[in-house]
């Protein structure tokens, strides 16, 4: 097992990487946890905050949150989840179920020598963060979710609900259940795939360019997104290059396997029926997020799902990539929430 050297940050002179878009500006570490070699960034000292990325993102999506949290006095750990980036990509769909994903976070905390953390998750990472908080409240003292409000366990298998909602149309959760076809489609031109996905789910996309939640059943997933002629300033060319380089190297199968485990997750969590997260929690979403039409009811009912909810907010003009699109607002909200916990 290899592990980086802890970074000791000056609490008087604030820390900031010379260029936050440079991945080498951060302290990269590796650990053997739960049977996989996990890559993570480890910065700062203080109470632990774990940031979990979504799809199609990487640890890198939090690069502009890391300095703000470190300078506020937190230890910030940001992994590539299994199947993503520089972390291992185990074979087998079941290797990506929620028990393994949460097990990775528990193992990582043990390796870090930590016994308490605030866990923050975006998109797919919000599913892992919510499950971690529910399953191990002794370790995860608070929860923040971005862009994807996670409901309690449903009464029917997820795929049954998706089919009822889609009514014969194409829907990305259903499309991703196929093994091979979506993997090849997304990997055929990685740059176009990522440009199109990042842009179409963002608040920058014009009406006709926005991600179509439902598409014709004979279309591929990329038919539902649009490749912009020029990408908005919130994602630099260097940042896009990093995402493209990593997904070109790894492909998309590991990421897609999380979606292929959704029915399995439902099956193995029958014991969580009726359970809720009682720790302090917060939700940050984007008012211009195309996926909001799918989850608006879940957003409206978050107070019932999360008895400890401190705040929920939809940021005007912001889409599905809130940490990328609205850095200062997300940083301020996270720091406000963390400050309340320490107060």
Integer Cα distance of 3 and 325 in angstroms: 31
Catalytic residue from among 104, 123, 183, 289: 123
In Å, how far are 154, 160, 166, 190 from 49, measured between CA atoms?
A: 29, 36, 37, 31
Catalytic residue from among 39, 53, 172, 320: 320
Is 123 designated active site? yes
Is 39 designated active site? no
Q: Are 278 and 307 in contact (CB under 8 A)?
A: yes
Compute the residue count for the chain: 343
As annotated, the active-site residues are 123, 320
């Amino acid at each position: 097992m290899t592990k980086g050297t802890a970074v000791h940050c000056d609490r008087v002179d604030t820390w900031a990487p010379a260029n936050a878009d440079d991945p080498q500006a951060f302290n990269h570490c590796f650990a053997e946890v739960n049977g996989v070699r996990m890559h993570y960034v480890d910065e700062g000292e203080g109470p632990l905050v774990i940031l979990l990325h979504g799809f199609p993102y990487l640890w890198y999506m939090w690069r502009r949150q890391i300095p703000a949290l470190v300078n506020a006095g937190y230890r910030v750990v940001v992994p590539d989840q299994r199947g993503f980036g520089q972390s291992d990509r185990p074979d087998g769909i079941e290797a990506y179920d929620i028990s393994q994903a949460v097990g990775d976070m528990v193992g990582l905390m043990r390796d870090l020598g930590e016994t308490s953390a605030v866990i923050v998750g975006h998109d797919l990472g919000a599913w892992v963060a919510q499950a971690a908080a529910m399953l191990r409240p002794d370790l995860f003292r608070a929860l923040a979710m971005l862009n994807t409000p996670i409901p309690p366990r449903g009464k029917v298998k997820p795929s049954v609900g998706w089919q009822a909602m889609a009514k014969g149309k194409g829907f990305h959760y259903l499309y991703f259940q196929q093994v091979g076809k979506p993997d090849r489609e997304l990997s055929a031109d990685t740059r176009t795939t990522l440009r199109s996905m990042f842009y179409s789910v963002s608040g920058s996309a014009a009406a006709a360019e926005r991600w179509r939640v439902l598409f014709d059943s004979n279309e591929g997933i990329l038919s539902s997104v649009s490749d912009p002629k020029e990408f908005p300033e919130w994602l630099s060319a260097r940042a896009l290059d990093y995402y493209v380089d990593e997904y070109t190297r790894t492909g998309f199968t590991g990421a897609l396997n999380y979606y292929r485990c959704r029915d399995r997750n439902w099956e193995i969590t029958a014991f969580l029926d009726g359970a809720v997260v009682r720790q302090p929690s917060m939700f940050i979403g984007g008012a211009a997020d195309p996926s909001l039409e799918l989850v608006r009811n879940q957003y409206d009912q978050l107070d019932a799902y999360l008895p400890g909810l401190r705040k929920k907010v939809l940021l005007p003009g912001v889409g599905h990539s809130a940490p990328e699109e609205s850095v200062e607002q997300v940083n301020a909200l996270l720091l406000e929430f963390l400050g309340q916990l320490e107060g």
